[in-house]
Amino acid sequence: AYGCDITFKSEANVDTDSMHEKKLIRLINMEPYSLPFADNTFDLIISNQVFEHVQNYSETIKELHRILKPEGSAIHIFPSRYSPIEPHVYVPFSSIVNSYPWLLLWAFFGVRNGSQSGLSAKEVAINNRNYLRDNTNYLSKRKINQYFKSYFESVEYCESLFLKYSPRGLHIYNLSKLLPFLPALYGHFRMRVLITRLPK
């Protein structure tokens, strides 16, 4: 298994330097944008909570298509644009409403992420506005489909399957036998799970 990112953070119990030296994790080339792997390298690509940060969907998906082998598959898991709580700044619906007054209101109410304790409401609102502007890109399902279908013939959402094999989601999956709309609701308001495949 290999990974790549635009930067690597040093974390406790994770030796990123050693992994980078062994080329298990590699830096993405930004100018021009390219993933650090040869054509037709992978049978399977998995991204987990990556696409909400992608600023240029077209070039990223083109690169995924390039490094995936014929008959290869890719699974992408990412928060929905309509998630009630934005998962990075924790402000309700800030993936849609990210104006400074909205962010300031919630900062006054005490909403903070783990790195913002001790900051004033104004500082938190400015940090959140800048982060959402520079580091997130929440697209509608229609736009996501448009981008992926430009490079992949097979594009499917599989929230039901994801819930079935997720310890946290199993109870929703079981409930969906009685309420079959639940996986679609989960995808719309919580998490998108997308599978793409290449033909032979």
Q: Where are the domains of the chain?
A: 1-30, 37-81+138-197, 100-135
Q: For residue 166, how many C-alpha atoms fall within 13 Å in the half-sphere facing its CB? A: 16
User: 68 to each of 30, 45, 124, 146, how far by Cα in Å?
Assistant: 19, 7, 40, 19
Please indicate, yes or no, whether the overall pTM of this predicted structure exceeds 0.75: yes
pLDDT in tens, the chain (200 residues): 899 998 887 777 788 888 888 989 999 999 899 999 999 999 999 999 999 999 999 999 999 999 999 999 999 999 999 999 999 999 999 999 999 999 999 999 999 999 999 999 999 999 999 999 999 999 999 999 999 999 999 999 999 999 999 999 999 999 999 999 999 999 999 999 999 999 98
Tell me which CATH code domain 37-81+138-197 carries.
3.40.50.150
- Count CB atoms within 10 A of the CB of residue 73: 17
